[in-house]
Amino acid sequence: MTGSVRVPVVRVRDGRHVESADLAAAEVPLEVRLGGRAFSILMRTPGADRALVAGFLLSERLIRSADDLATIEQCTDLPDEAVEARANTVSVELEPAAAARAAHLLTGRRDVMATAACGVCGRSTLESLRDGLQALPAAATVTASLVAALPRRLRAHQPLFDATGGTHAAGIVDAAGEVLAVAEDVGRHNAVDKAVGSLLLRELLPASHAVLCVSGRTSFEIVQKAWCAGIPIVVSVSAPSSLATSLADEAGITLAGFVRDGGLNIYTHPARIV
């Protein structure tokens, strides 16, 4: 299966040790090149790499829409024999105005490797991630029954989790419940970037009447990524952090947690869930 690797395992059952094999979610570095120069290394599960990079650049505030991307593609300037390197490198060229804006923003960026657990590891201040963002309008509404059903619906789109038990998922649906994008990855933030990046590349942002549903908990970074994408409602099967809650309040985002067993807790801007 794409995105998984077969690994040896010793299974212990009823006091017996049995050598066997298992599937593990793949975690492989992806090099991102910006303007022909190395920009970042993302530890990710291979698949939807262009969407991952697009979503990552949006949340890093280096692009604002698909119009800022001149090209975004698997690297083609490596030798033909460097098959693995080609598969794990994405090259991005920005339009001139976006490139100039990015050059200014990069002066405040720390050069680090982003692990699968990293959401905003490259930024030196949290304030830089809010730059230019306005609180989202309150027009969008969804039903509580739709929100309550989202984790179960998302679960039906997680074949890699079924095979490995080792991935997170993020899904974006519209107000009618139609699935717009779903992504899996070993990293929660990567899964969100893949889902958001998919909409960006299809020129469907801002997603002003959409809901982002994530497996696990909701952190500051996930709310920030939703804010960049213009998504007004974020829900998760587990708890939000305190910083996620305060940022959602500032951003005008409806934040719901513990969405399970037909119930949910709404932490901010509850009027959108009717």
CA–CA gap between residue 209 and residue 172 (Å, rounded): 10
Q: Which of 75, 118, 121, 228 is catalytic?
A: 118
Residues 108 and 170 in one domain: no
Contact 198, 183 (CB under 8 A): yes
The maximal CA–CA distance of the chain, rounded, in angstroms, is 65
Task: Write the DSSP symbol of residue 29.
Answer: E
- Asked whether residue 57 is assigned to any structural domain, the reply reads yes
Overall domain count for the chain: 2
pLDDT score recorded for residue 132: 75
pLDDT score recorded for residue 235: 98
CATH of the domain at 84: 3.10.20.10
Domain boundary among 129, 156, 171: 129
Which helix (H) or strand (E) element contains residue 179? strand 179-185
pLDDT score recorded for residue 1: 65
- Full domain range(s) for residue 206: 144-272
Identify the CA nearest to 54 among candidates 18, 91, 27. 91
Q: Give average pLDDT by consecutive 10-residue segment, the chain, 274 residues.
A: 90 95 96 93 96 96 96 79 82 96 77 53 56 87 96 94 96 96 97 98 97 95 97 97 97 97 96 96
| SS3 state of residue 200 | helix
67 CB-side CA count, 13 A? 5
In SS3 terms, 146-161 reads as HHHHHHHHHHCCCHHH
The per-type count for the chain, helices as H runs and strands as E runs, is 8, 13
Annotation marks residue 75 as catalytic: no
Residues 88 and 151 in one domain: no
| SS3 state of residue 54 | helix
Residues 157 and 232 in one domain: yes
